């Protein structure tokens, strides 16, 4: 049953979210090491914020939509995964972009 879920559109979306989260983590660690701001407690914050706070609930929603066949729930899971993907891509872009040292041209990154 797990294999069938992972091969379904919902399962593929969950896998993609996990890959995006891992890439965001890897690029974030790279950027923190590059900038000399790496802190080990940020790893726990990432797990709590991204994996447990975003990917797990969305994955649970996708799994429930697969089990029940509810199209509204599936649409909600797809919308949430799309929003998470957009946020994660922006975060990855922020990690690979070299910080601008000139305060007049610097773009604030949140």
For the segment 40-64, the average pLDDT, to the nearest whole number, is 92
Pinpoint the alpha helices (H) of the chain.
2-7, 9-35, 41-46, 56-68, 71-96
In this prediction, residue 101 has a pLDDT band, given cuts at 50, 70 and 90, of low
Helix (H) or strand (E) holding 68: helix 56-68
Give the predicted TM-score (pTM) of the model.
0.79
Distance CA 49, CA 57 (A): 11
According to the model, what pLDDT value does residue 95 have?
85
In this prediction, residue 79 has a pLDDT band, given cuts at 50, 70 and 90, of confident
The pair of three-digit structure tokens given for residue 37, joined into one six-digit string: 């701001």
Q: Where are the domains of the chain?
A: 7-96
Mean pLDDT of the chain: 87
């Amino acid at each position: 049953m797990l294999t069938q879920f992972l091969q379904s559109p919902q399962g593929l979306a969950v896998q993609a979210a996990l890959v995006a989260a891992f890439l965001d983590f890897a690029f974030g660690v790279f950027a923190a090491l590059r900038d000399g701001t790496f802190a080990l407690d940020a790893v726990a914050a990432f797990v709590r914020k991204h994996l447990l706070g975003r990917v797990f609930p969305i994955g649970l929603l996708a799994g429930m939509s697969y089990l029940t066949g509810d199209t509204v729930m599936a649409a909600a899971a797809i919308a949430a995964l799309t929003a998470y993907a957009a946020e994660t891509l922006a975060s990855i872009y922020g990690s690979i972009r070299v910080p601008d040292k000139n305060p007049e041209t610097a773009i604030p990154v949140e």
